Chain A
Amino acid sequence: MTDRKATGTAGAVIVADGLTRRFGDFTAVEDVSFAVQAGEIFGFLGPNGAGKTTAIRMLTGLLPPTSGFAHVAGYDVARESRALRRSIGYMSQLFSLYSDLTVRENLELFAGLYDLSANQREDRIRWALATAGLEGRDDQLTATLPLGLKQRLALGSAVLHEPPVLFLDEPTSGVDPVARRAFWDLVADMTARGTTVLVTTHYMEEAEHCHRLALMNRGRIVALDSPGALRASLDSPILEVRSRDPTRAAALISGLEPIEDATMVGRAVHVVTRDEAAARARIIDTLAGAGIGLLSLERVRPTLEDVFVAVVRASGGVVAG
């Protein structure tokens, strides 16, 4: 769509201001404000229940906000949702194409729903098949596709009408790393051509693909910056402890002086401390005393998860929704 209206924030394609959604007494999204520029990949990162999906549903016009407002591609999401839907592509959290239709039938359906003209239609379907790597599988029932291909087909369907804005809600949940990589290459390709992408995720690895990230916890944005800047904002060093029994190790370590925080990250324990030397000594003594075999203890680059935990702790909150 070319007739974009002027927006409040200059050049921004997505603008949210004080966006809030309540369900009864429960506030799912509270006072969320941000702006996304054209061609940017903007991420919502947070645990399940942080309000990411509710936020994305408001931005796509599927759910009216309780208060606050948002403009997407120049349209007011609450009042112009009909017009808005022509300018956005949306890929919902669960795979939501028709599994009892073939690949081509699904694409034809969405081409019809997006009002593509007859000649546009065939071009775009061929493009989507090529992009998703599904050439020659037109007539395969969607149910029989591997998850990675399903996700790429869903992406292809969502952008058949070449929308300027694309919303991805947990796009690669459950997809293997290779397929995830391929999916993100596709997204990067689209943004290179000017598409603006807003993505929600709880995978740190996925978050690294974003130009800017909004860390969300309990319905609020607790930090907003580029992944690099967010990591740099963490001033305490991070020690990574690998041991034979990470669960017990984490429990023991988190009670020690001068350790501010100890969290499980995968099979390792990440420790935040201001006094690295003292912390190292205490950890080695404690694990040896408890009979837990220590495999390695080294200083690592903070992950986004470390940043997330630190930001939430610093703001006096609790992680989770």
Chain B
Amino acid sequence: MTFHRTLAVARKEVLQLSRDPRSLALGFLIPPLLIVFFGAAITFDVDDIGLAVWDADRSQASSRLVQAFVASDYFRVVERLDRYPDVEHVLQSGEALAVLAIPHGFARDLGTGGPAPVQLLVDGSDANTATIAIEYAGAITSAFSLRATLQGRELRPSLVPASRVWYNPSLESRNMVVPGLVAVILSILAALLTALTIAREWERGTMEQLVSTPVTRLEIVTGKLLPYLAIGVFDVLLAVAIGTLVFDVPFRGSLALLVAMTVVFLFAALGFGMFLSAALKSQVLATQFAMVATYVPALLLSGFIFAIANMPRPLQIATYLFPARYYVTITKAVFLKGVGFEVLWRQGLPLVALAALAIGATVAAFRKEVA
């Protein structure tokens, strides 16, 4: 392998890229747009839950309970119902996500020391949000019931858990979405960018001239990878800038470490796209395949949305095959935890292996012979 020839291929690729608006947009415009767009849109935080209230008691106590829900900031009263059967209508129409039903005699039962039953009806069609709403409501009512029981007296609890949330103390989902997003977007993009490169040369007939020269397969593959590597690193730096400046996501780790890990990850991700391009020899096929083979795993099997530890065992094993899995861990760790190489080598090592595999497979699939 000579540096000379590799550089000649890389230079040619840069020149072609610079004249190809489609690839330029894909490399430079789409990633920051996606980060801004998804960074603003994806949130797992549940607040502002629409609550309808059916208050048959109409007492001071019942309005204090409703007030407790509103004061929590998680609930907003959207409607007051006069008749209990209306409950069905507001849930069906989606006007409210939950209904708080306070029966007649609530204040009386509360005054006699209870129990004073109230009903919470929750729209379970979005299970995640419903679960969170129930938890919030549970916390609000127990606080309310505790206050009612004590009636101003002091209580000295025997056990006080002191919970602290590390790395993302405000538990803002944006802080985990943005770093994970960088990894997901780069995974998909990297494969898409390189899926075109070798297939395009076969389709246009330029490969035949290229392979008649002394250039080797490894030189062609490496030379073609280098420009995209630079684009990928640029995208990551841009994403760090957008994340910290626009979304206020903390960046606690070392930028140099992130870049180094990104390079390894990119060799694997770009290599995969190039492998498809070499093996399928068709731009259309390789692009579609790259889309399918990176999009779903990057989104669902990377730990970006769903924790890998909660997946069924076979799926957990499958995640080890996708570079995105390691890179999502890396970006989250560098952004939020600020950890260094002493921890992240565990992610780096499998990425090196996947990168070697991808490039080896590309060189093997890339037969220089012409059929």
Contacts and interface: CB of A to CB of B under 8 A. Distances in A.
Interface of A: 23, 57, 60, 62-64, 82, 85-86, 88, 90-92, 94-101, 105, 108-115, 154, 157-158
B12 A109 contact: yes
Interface in B11-68: 11-12, 15-16, 19-20
Contact of B208 (A23, A96, A98): A96
B5 A94 contact: no
A113 B215 contact: yes
Given A98-B16, A100-B20, A101-B16, A112 B212 contact: no
A202 B209 CA distance: 21
Given A64-B369, A109-B12, A113-B8, A92 B213 contact: no
Contact of B8 (A98, A100, A112): A112
B368 interface: yes
A114 B208 contact: no
Contacts of A108: 8, 11
B286 to A, nearest CB: 19
Contacts of B207: 96
B208 A100 contact: no
B157 interface: no
Interface string B199-242: 00000111111111111100000000000000000000000000
Interface string B98-131: 0000000000000000000000000000000000
Nearest to A91: B209
Given A99-B204, A115-B2, 14 more contacts: A86-B214, A90-B209, A90-B212, A94-B208, A96-B204, A96-B209, A101-B12, A101-B16, A105-B12, A105-B15, A108-B8, A112-B9, A113-B5, A113-B213
A96 B208 CA distance: 7
Interface in B272-329: none
B368 A98 contact: no
Contacts of A63: 369-371
A91 to B, nearest CB: 8
**Interchain residue pairs A-B with the least CB separation, the first 4:** A112-B8, A90-B212, A96-B209, A113-B213
Given A62-B368, A62-B370, A115-B5, A92 B214 contact: no
Contact of B7 (A85, A96, A112): A112
Contact of A115 (B11, B204, B214): B214
A100 B5 contact: no
B4 interface: yes
B223 to A, nearest CB: 10
A101 to B, nearest CB: 6
Contacts of B4: 112, 115
The contact size tier of chain B is 20 to 34
Contacts of B15: 100-101, 105
B369 A85 contact: no
Contacts of A97: 206, 209
A109 B20 CA distance: 18
Nearest to A94: B205
Contacts of B5: 112-113, 115
Nearest to A112: B8
Given A98-B12, A98-B16, A114 B214 contact: yes
30 contacts: A62-B211, A62-B368, A62-B369, A63-B370, A82-B214, A85-B213, A85-B214, A86-B214, A91-B209, A92-B205, A92-B212, A96-B206, A96-B208, A98-B16, A100-B15, A100-B19, A101-B15, A101-B16, A109-B8, A109-B9, A109-B11, A110-B213, A112-B4, A112-B5, A112-B7, A112-B11, A113-B9, A113-B213, A114-B214, A115-B5
B8 A60 contact: no
Contacts of A57: 370
A110 B11 CA distance: 12
B333 to A, nearest CB: 41
Contacts of A99: 204
B208 A113 contact: no
Contacts of B206: 96-98
Contacts of B204: 96, 99
Contacts of A23: 371
